Structure 1
Amino acid sequence: MGLYRKYKPHMLLVVNQLCYTFLYFMTEAAFNLGMNPHVYVTYRALVAGIVMLPFAYFLERDVRPKLTITLFLEIFMLSLLGVSLSLNVHFDSLKYSSPTFLTAMTNTTPSLTFIFAVALRLEVLNRRDPRSIAKVLGTMVSLGGVITMTTYKGPIIRNLWHPLIQIQRNSPVHENWLKASLLTVSSCIIWATYNIMQALTLKRYHAELSLTVWMSFVGAAQSAIYTVIVAHKPSDWIIGFNIEFWSTIYSGVVTSGVVVFFQLWCTKQKGPVFITIFNPLCTVLVAMLAYFVFGEKLYLGRIIGAVIVIIGLYLLLWGKEGDNEVHNKAKKQSQCNCEHPESRI
């Protein structure tokens, strides 16, 4: 049980990445059938709110803080950053790229989160500490990997056999790496801001399930307004009982419901930077499925850039583990002082 409690955040975040891996291919298939990405984001958030509402209402009835106007405005901004704006930009970029490229670029979120955390003094840097140097170096290496992915495409790695699963495409894919890069980096910047803000919000609103429900409903309303402005066709809101429907249900229940709750809990336990360090696992899984199962094109430059990003991320992880050790030592010392007050005299 001691090991379980120690590694529970790690296990939950691994499950999150597995959930995200299947999500990318389901949404790609839905978009290829003609589903509007903005309608998808709206339905996804709405489904998540409906599914999580009963659990939040009954399980957190006694611990849910009172909702004030200030706190609601904070939740409104959190929903904008974490649900409506970030997801709309993120999935919009899938129209111009592939799941492999998208997940690889998403690995920049930890580096951007770290930069914002340092700027807001949520992260401490010591020039003489090797772990602090590793955090800075890891951030620079990760950003270098992103530059490699966006500037160097390289030759195509050919498939050795026919794909096991063929994704149906009603319309041709318009690859535009520059547009895809700009959209994906924008979504990563928004997500990094969201990671910082949610860590601050959880200190005042310490009910993860209820916060997930609020974010889902508010984010769905924001995304619906944006969709009405952008998509003028009423037919875009009608989805068939096919992959469009099942991808919406899966994303709403699993990724916008359960996964967001896991992320909030892990953020409360480990901090905003820790939850982003498992992103490379999703990149590896997506690349393997894309190449070996779905037969999608892989470019040498994207693989080299992704490897560089992952190296930088784990340099950052090594530096973060040093922070956890310092925090645990300080916590134990504080507990000892409370148990033996005479030691402070």
Structure 2
Amino acid sequence: MMEIKKKLKGSNVLIGMLIVQVIATGLQLLSKVILSHGTFVFALMTYRHVVATLCIAPFALIWERDSLMKVTWSVLFWLFMIALTGIIMAMGFFYYGLKETSATYATNFLNLVPIVTFIFSTVSRVEKLRWKTRLGKIKLLGAILCLAGALTITFYKGKVFYISHHHKHQNSSNYHEHKLRGTIFLMCSCMSYGCWFLIQSKVSKLFPYKYSATFIISIIATIQSAIIGVSMDRRKASWKLGFDMQLITIFYSGALATAATLCLISWAVTKRGPTYPSMFNPLSLIFVAIAEAFFLGEEISIGSLLGMFLIIVGLYSFLRAKSKEFSQIGSPNVGDAEVPSPEIEATTPRSNMELPILARESATFQSTTIQVASPILKQDEDEEEEEEKQCI
């Protein structure tokens, strides 16, 4: 029994990350169902972040109450930009892309977010490519494999088969038209996420309080979604809530996919480091593909399977190389004075589209280390002063 308890205790972080991916799978399927039935995207985003705000509020007000007094206009501006790029643009484009395609197809693009972020950070010289090193070559190869997988899924279909008997029949011309439009939305979502994670490197230094920052971001995102949504569609029917699948999805996404996922990933980062949670993201792609084919009757093609394989292999290669580079160098930007590193954020593509926390976790770890070391040094100095007084 003791050995079993030890094994269970040692695998609790693993179980937690598997739960995160299961929650992400449920979110993708529920979102696909309600969006296919005509749910207004910005109404969904508004109500979702109202629930998320209520769920995060206790953590921010109890554990980080003092941090709210440190919110300046500069911090507020950057939190506003995070909500705009990471929620309104990234999540909004993703929902529209999900509506036009399938959950499996859209999840494939979310796994490309680390690669897009890596490209953006390299072009903007926030991060070095280091392509002459072995790890740099592995990262570059992983990025190429992910890109090849995305192109394969987009342009190659191959033989099609179904797991469920109640598969859907769809017009070929309309399907390709919607798929092209959805692909454009998903590409815009990936680029928005890339910009979002770069902004995190700025905010993590200005305001390294994950719960308070998430609480404020949720409030801002709610206001932004409501204003944009009302500007696009003022019909009461678009904003009406009933006891149906839409209401279930709103509470599911706000309470589980935002609040619960935030806490689980934060806990996993504390236990195993910032790269560990991101290694599980490709699992949601597999879970979504199987669940969507089984429950929603979506088709599975040879091209999608081949593309998924390339993306998963490329993503794992990229993340493993990033992890080893971080452990060897300590920071990938050694030699670059006070340049924040986005590689921690880049390793968190967040297949469930949730608020970023790993950048703020990293900043918290660094500040904690400094705060722990300083009292020890101070105590040593006090002891030396006492010894000198005694000698005198």
Matched, 1:48 2:39: no
Bigger drift between 139-148 and 59-68 goes to: 59-68
Q: Please report how far the alpha carbon of residue 125 of structure 1 lies from its aligned counterpart in structure 2 after TM superposition.
A: 3.3
Write out aligned runs for 1:227-266 (5 A). 227-260=229-262
Which structure has more relative contact order (CA 8 Å, sep 6+)? It is 1
Report if the CA contact (8 A) 2:162-2:293 is conserved. Answer: no
Q: Please report how far the alpha carbon of residue 262 of structure 1 lies from its aligned counterpart in structure 2 after TM superposition.
A: 5.1
Matched, 1:149 2:153: yes
Report if the CA contact (8 A) 1:42-1:220 is conserved. Answer: yes
Q: Please report how far the alpha carbon of residue 154 of structure 1 lies from its aligned counterpart in structure 2 after TM superposition.
A: 2.3
Matched, 1:86 2:108: no
Matched, 1:162 2:180: no
In 2, the alpha carbon distance for the partners of 1:178 and 1:284 equals: 23
Residue of structure 2 in register with 1:223 after alignment: 225
Structure 1 residues 69 and 75: CA distance shift in structure 2, 3 A: same
Gaps of 5+ in 2: 1-5, 169-173, 335-364, 378-392
Bigger drift between 236-245 and 29-38 goes to: 29-38
Report if the CA contact (8 A) 1:209-1:261 is conserved. Answer: no
In 2, the alpha carbon distance for the partners of 1:179 and 1:256 equals: 28
Residue of structure 2 in register with 1:343 after alignment: none
In 1, the alpha carbon distance for the partners of 2:190 and 2:147 equals: 12
Residue of structure 2 in register with 1:204 after alignment: 206
CA distances 1:204-247 after superposition (whole Å, capped 9, x unpaired): 21111111111111011111111112223121100210111010
Structure 1 residues 135 and 99: CA distance shift in structure 2, 3 A: same
Give SS of 1:22's match: helix
In 2, the alpha carbon distance for the partners of 1:230 and 1:153 equals: 35
Report if the CA contact (8 A) 1:63-1:207 is conserved. Answer: yes
- Please point out which of 321, 324, 327 is paired with 1:325: 327
**Percent of residue pairs identical:** 25
- Structure-1-length-normalised TM-score: 0.83
Bigger drift between 62-71 and 44-53 goes to: 62-71
Structure 1 residues 267 and 84: CA distance shift in structure 2, 3 A: farther
Structure 1 residues 195 and 56: CA distance shift in structure 2, 3 A: same
Residue of structure 1 in register with 2:134 after alignment: 130
Q: Please report how far the alpha carbon of residue 320 of structure 1 lies from its aligned counterpart in structure 2 after TM superposition.
A: 1.0
Give SS of 1:30's match: helix
Report if the CA contact (8 A) 2:162-2:297 is conserved. Answer: no
- AA at the equivalent of 1:299: S
CA distances 1:51-72 after superposition (whole Å, capped 9, x unpaired): 2112210111245560111110
Residue of structure 2 in register with 1:170 after alignment: none
Report if the CA contact (8 A) 2:27-2:249 is conserved. Answer: yes
Q: Please report how far the alpha carbon of residue 265 of structure 1 lies from its aligned counterpart in structure 2 after TM superposition.
A: 7.2
Gaps of 5+ in 1: 168-172, 341-345
- Please point out which of 187, 191, 194 is paired with 2:193: 191
Report if the CA contact (8 A) 2:51-2:251 is conserved. Answer: yes
Q: CA RMSD in A?
A: 3.5
In 2, the alpha carbon distance for the partners of 1:198 and 1:115 equals: 16
In 2, the alpha carbon distance for the partners of 1:6 and 1:181 equals: 41
In 2, the alpha carbon distance for the partners of 1:321 and 1:7 equals: 20
Bigger drift between 6-15 and 197-206 goes to: 6-15
In 2, the alpha carbon distance for the partners of 1:179 and 1:264 equals: 35
Write out aligned runs for 1:78-117 (5 A). 78-117=82-121
Report if the CA contact (8 A) 1:110-1:276 is conserved. Answer: no
Report if the CA contact (8 A) 1:212-1:260 is conserved. Answer: no
Q: Please report how far the alpha carbon of residue 311 of structure 1 lies from its aligned counterpart in structure 2 after TM superposition.
A: 1.3
Residue of structure 1 in register with 2:297 after alignment: 295
Give SS of 2:206's match: coil
Residue of structure 1 in register with 2:184 after alignment: 182
Q: Please report how far the alpha carbon of residue 9 of structure 1 lies from its aligned counterpart in structure 2 after TM superposition.
A: 7.5
Give SS of 2:297's match: coil
Report if the CA contact (8 A) 2:162-2:298 is conserved. Answer: no
Larger Rg: 2
Structure 1 residues 66 and 3: CA distance shift in structure 2, 3 A: farther
In 1, the alpha carbon distance for the partners of 2:180 and 2:263 equals: 33
- Structure-2-length-normalised TM-score: 0.74
